[in-house]
Amino acid sequence: MTTGAVIPATSTAPTTRQVWTRTRGIVLAVVLLLAGAVAIAVIRSDNRHGDLDPRSADRYGSRAVAELLADRGVSTRVVTTLAEARAAAGRDTTLLVAIPDLLTPHQQSQLRASTAGSGGRTILVAAGGSSVERLAPGVTADPATSLKSTLDPHCGLAEARRAGSADTGGIRYTTTHLDADSCYPSQRLATLIRVPTATGGGDTVVLGAPDILLNDRLDEQGNASLALQLLGSRPHLVWYLPSLSDSSATGTGEQKSLFDLLPSGWLWGTLQLFIATALAAFWRARRLGPLVPEKLPVAIRASETVEGRARLYRKANARDRAAAALRSTARTRLAPLVGVPVSQAHAPEALLPALSAQLHGDGQTLHSLLFGPPPGDDAALIALTDQLDALEREVRRP
Amino acid sequence: MPLTGRAALLAAIGSIPIGLWGPSWTGILAVDGSLALACACDFALAAPVRRLVLTRSGDTSARLGETADVTLTVTNPAGRPLRARLRDGWPPSSWQPGTEVEASRHRLTVPAGERRRITTRLRPTRRGDHQADRVTIRSYGPLGLFSRQGGHKVPWTVRVLPPFTSRKHLPSKLARLRELDGRTSVLTRGEGTEFDSLREYVPGDDTRSIDWRATARQSTVAVRTWRPERDRHILLVLDTGRTSAGRVGDAPRLDASMDSALLLAALASRAGDRVDLLAYDRRVRALVQGRSAGDVLPSLVNAMATLEPELVETDARGLTAMALRSAPRRSLIVLLTTLDTAPVEQGLLPVLSQLTQRHTVLLASVADPHVSQMATARGNADAVYEAAAAAQAQGERHRTAEQLRRHGVTVVDATPDDLAPALADAYLALKAAGRL
């Protein structure tokens, strides 16, 4: 080999081009998938965004009603946490709970506790069965919702009578309060109920559907009139939009957990230790090269069949066959020792005289030993083996 | 992600400053960010693995049980020194079990632009061709926090040859051969049939070998010497079928057969005979023909190195036909096969006459010492049944051997340790009797 000979590249790592060739299909698929997801998100993002939010000008937002109220001197404030909502409750305040069903039972109880005696108005928009029972005791929701959306007042509530028919059709309620106003009935069950509190002049309004507050529907029927009257009865409107980031949702407000009690240095130090453990796992997980495969040879013991046969004899108690084999071997070994050709070893008349001549023994014993019937039990078989061994030793001795 | 333990350790130590002074995301970011930065620098500064140039040299063959040294030359063309761990991958049977990890891994430092050699010592536990697998190199950065890892395929084959353990018997058998030849000072009468030469009588010579006619012509007493025939043809036939796969002791029967075939070949090539080899099960696995006396043993060893038992029934008819084709003139055909009743009675016996018609046939079979051990088992019922089964098996082998002998075949049945010398003795006996 000359010094200038080209040494072929031996690296098994793929080149950049190979990596590109291999992965471009996957990359293309991922890009397509992402593009599709973005496109779908863009196309479908025009509706259902900021529902019932007084800052949202969407179809399902409520900016219009907030603007109208501002024109009439009612200030609107949006709160997202329970603590703010509770602090805001007061005599000259209307508290609107936009989606009461998002509150946890604990939050609902707390909210109810602060609104009950405040003297202000509380409006519950489309409260479901369990939340309406906690936020407005005495009112129950019917599992069946109203079929029609637009309903007529049919009640003595001044606001309702002034507004006329409105889109309140949604959840239907019944109440046990005798002084409550049940309006806009759909098949005898009201979709708007006003329950005055026992003391302080406050009241709770339960609204079966949010439609009258939506930008989209405000200009239909008597919706605007009803909404403005209900929301504008106090100079301040607090619009409570329950949010997931509210820490009171966990319900463990007063109980301190172990993590709260530990100094934060320990927690962050432990987090860093977890990171270190992950790094150590990566360090140990990386092998120095793949396993090397190899074809394994067959491993069969040559004596396996003989051992199998021995176990078969044992299992079947084949004493006759075992004894026959042992006797036959013994005869084959004895015959040359006493001068009988091997071919005649299995003939009693040839072998026995020669043997008894050598041993001066009893011909009958020899016959039963070498040509006798099979032994009756295992002990007899063992004894037979020992006797055959003894006989062979005796013949070999002289 | 080829991180090192040092990086993980640093991350663990980093939990102390985080806990004491910076228990916040900022602290975590500061510690792990600087660690990541150090790792990135390390990665950038590690010598690239892809551009390394690797070449191999060293042993290409070794006997089973011996060692083979394979050298790997690593050239580092980069401008940075290479600090690396290297694994030279070989199949697991290239090392004694338990020593693979230690034997295959190396630490390596190659300064920029230089080359270094490392030697991997193989101690194969199995016969055959051992192909080098990939070389994996993990190149560390100067801080030892991060590494690059890559593989190189540098082909190399080490052929592991049969151990030929029976060569220890060769001197004694060669001495016996020289006695036959009449070349030794023991002065046994050459028992061959071919007249060799006349030489002067020395006291101790057999007086029957004195050639009186020659003595009359000379002033000294002359004796005739005889020597065995030379330039005879021997065909070793290895049966690599299923019966050769059974393990006797630690190795398959085939290995014991090979060992005795090698001793016989060594002996016969010294005796001036030509030795051929045929390995067959359902097709020809190896065929060595027409090698000169000096060349025959290496080529046989080479051909046997890659032979493995196949789990198929041997085609005795095909084997006979192939043997007849490979041995055109009168030869000694040595069949290294089994004495099990079924394969012999159904396979070999019907076609044996084709072989015995023209050739002398010698059949060697590996007996299992474990069966002999079982035959002497005594004491309880299990042992006696074992003894009975072993006696039955041995009886069947004897009967099969007897049947073969009636067809004029010389049969050698011995345990793996005794088979090679027994086969050599049988060969010498045939040679002495002039039956080749």
pLDDT number for residue B184: 46
Under CATH, what is the fold of the domain B1-161?
Immunoglobulin-like (2.60.40)
- Give the separation between CA A162 and CA A223, rounded to whole angstroms: 11
Chain centroid, CA A372 distance in Å: 76
Q: Report residue A17: phi and psi, to 5°.
A: -65, -45
- Give the separation between CA B375 and CA B368, rounded to whole angstroms: 11
A243 to chain B, any CB pair closer than 8 A? The answer is: no
- Give the separation between CA A112 and CA A129, rounded to whole angstroms: 15
- Residue B191 backbone class (left: φ over 0; alpha: ψ -120 to 50; beta: rest): alpha
- Give the separation between CA A128 and CA A173, rounded to whole angstroms: 10
How many C-beta atoms surround the C-beta of residue A84 within 10 A?
Answer: 14
Chain centroid, CA B148 distance in Å: 40
- DSSP label at B231? S
- Give the separation between CA B302 and CA B288, rounded to whole angstroms: 10
Note whether B136 contacts A288, CB cutoff 8 Å: yes
* 3-class secondary-structure state, position A78: strand
pLDDT per residue as tens, chain A (398 positions): 334 445 567 788 788 888 999 999 999 999 999 999 999 988 876 555 677 788 877 778 888 888 888 888 888 888 888 888 888 888 888 888 888 888 888 888 888 888 877 778 888 888 888 888 888 888 888 888 887 878 888 887 888 888 888 888 888 888 888 888 888 888 888 888 888 877 767 888 888 888 888 888 888 888 888 888 888 888 888 888 887 767 666 655 456 677 777 788 888 899 999 999 999 999 999 889 889 999 888 788 889 999 999 999 999 999 999 999 999 999 998 888 888 888 888 888 888 888 888 877 666 788 888 888 998 888 999 999 999 999 888 888 86
Closest to A135 in 3D by CA, of A154, A158, A155, A107 = A107
Q: State which residue of chain A sits closest to B55, comparing Cα positions.
A: A7
- Burial class for B139, CB neighbours closer than 10 Å (0-12, 13-18, 19+): buried
Closest to A241 in 3D by CA, of A368, A90, A76 = A76
Angle at A88 between CA A83 and CA A94, to 5 degrees: 130
B158 to chain A, any CB pair closer than 8 A? The answer is: no
A268 to chain B, any CB pair closer than 8 A? The answer is: yes
- Strand order in B134-140's β-sheet? B105-110, B82-88, B134-140, B147-153
- Give the separation between CA B237 and CA B227, rounded to whole angstroms: 27
Instruction: Look up residue A301 and give its amino acid.
Output: R
Angle at B62 between CA B57 and CA B67, to 5 degrees: 85
Q: Minimal Cα–Cα distance from B306 to chain A, Å?
A: 12
| β-pair partners for B116 | B74
Q: Two tokens at B206?
A: 């057999």
CATH number for the domain running over B233-432 = 3.40.50.410
A288 → closest Cβ in B90, B93, B138? B138
pLDDT tens figures, B207-234: 877 888 888 888 888 887 766 667 889 9
Which residues, numbered 289 to 308 in chain A, qualify as contacts with chain B under a Cβ-Cβ cut-off of 8 Å? Answer: 289-290, 292-294, 297-307
pLDDT tens figures, B51-83: 899 999 999 999 998 999 999 999 999 889 999
Confidence of residue B106 (pLDDT cuts 50, 70, 90): very high
pLDDT tens figures, B368-385: 999 999 999 888 889 999
Closest to A193 in 3D by CA, of A137, A271, A233 = A137
Q: What is the DSSP string of A203-237?
A: EEEEES-SGGGSTTTTTSTTHHHHHHHHHTSSSEE
B387 to chain A, any CB pair closer than 8 A? The answer is: yes
- Give the separation between CA A166 and CA A221, rounded to whole angstroms: 5
pLDDT number for residue A49: 60
Domain residue extents for chain A: 63-248, 304-396
- Give the separation between CA A121 and CA A118, rounded to whole angstroms: 8
Q: Are B75 and B112 in contact (CB under 8 A)?
A: no
ipTM of the complex in this document: 0.73
- Which of A284, A292, A320, A392 is the mutation pick for testing B, counting most B CBs within 10 A? A292
A13 → closest Cβ in B27, B126, B151? B151
Tell me: pLDDT of B86 over 90.
yes
Q: Which residues of A48-78 are buried (b: 16+ CB within 10 A; e: fewer)?
A: eeebbbbebebebbbbbbbebbeeeebebeb
CB-defined contacts A:B, below 8 A: 207
Dihedral sign (CA A220, A225, A230, A231): positive
Closest to B137 in 3D by CA, of B91, B76, B223, B192 = B76
A306 → closest Cβ in B3, B138, B389? B389
B405 to chain A, any CB pair closer than 8 A? The answer is: no
Note whether B149 contacts A288, CB cutoff 8 Å: yes
pLDDT number for residue B129: 92
pLDDT number for residue A196: 84
**Which alpha helices (DSSP H) does B241-309 contain, by range?**
253-270, 296-305
Chain centroid, CA A342 distance in Å: 80
pLDDT number for residue A74: 86
Tell me: pLDDT of B421 over 60.
yes
A316 to chain B, any CB pair closer than 8 A? The answer is: no
Note whether B151 contacts A7, CB cutoff 8 Å: no
Instruction: Look up residue B31 and give its amino acid.
Output: V
Q: State which residue of chain A sits closest to B248, comparing Cα positions.
A: A302
pLDDT number for residue B89: 92
Cα–Cα distances in Å, from A93 out to A86, A230, B170, B180?
11, 12, 116, 130
pLDDT tens figures, B300-355: 999 999 899 999 999 999 999 999 998 878 899 999 998 988 888 888 999 999 99
Q: Two tokens at B88?
A: 């030279």
Note whether A292 contacts B91, CB cutoff 8 Å: yes
- Give the separation between CA A227 and CA A214, rounded to whole angstroms: 10
Q: State which residue of chain A sits closest to B151, comparing Cα positions.
A: A12
A289 → closest Cβ in B3, B4, B89? B89
- Give the separation between CA A148 and CA A146, rounded to whole angstroms: 6
Q: Minimal Cα–Cα distance from A247 to chain B, Å?
A: 20
Q: State which residue of chain B sits closest to A383, comparing Cα positions.
A: B379
**Helices A348-359 & A319-337, crossing angle to 10 degrees?**
60
B216 to chain A, any CB pair closer than 8 A? The answer is: no
Q: State which residue of chain A sits closest to B16, comparing Cα positions.
A: A269
Q: Are B121 and B69 in contact (CB under 8 A)?
A: yes
**Which alpha helices (DSSP H) does chain A contain, by range?**
16-44, 63-71, 82-88, 105-116, 129-135, 158-163, 223-231, 258-261, 264-285, 304-316, 319-337, 348-359, 363-371, 378-396
Chain B residues inside the 8 Å CB shell of A288: 85, 87, 105, 136, 138, 149
Chain B residues inside the 8 Å CB shell of A326: 384, 387-388, 391
Q: Report residue B14: phi and psi, to 5°.
A: -60, -20
- Give the separation between CA B212 and CA A205, rounded to whole angstroms: 151
Residue B46 CB contacts under 8 Å (≥ 6 apart), including other chains:
B80, B83, B139, B140, B141, B142, B146, B147, B148
Domain residue extents for chain B: 1-161, 194-227, 233-432
- Give the separation between CA B111 and CA B118, rounded to whole angstroms: 14
Q: What is the DSSP string of A172-196?
A: -EEE--TT-EEEEEETTEEEEEEEE
- Give the separation between CA A323 and CA B285, rounded to whole angstroms: 44
B23 → closest Cβ in A267, A273, A301? A267
Count CA atoms closer than 13 A to A236's CA, side-chain side. Answer: 14
Chain A residues inside the 8 Å CB shell of B27: 268
**Helices A319-337 & A378-396, crossing angle to 10 degrees?**
0
| β-pair partners for A277 | none
* 3-class secondary-structure state, position A144: coil
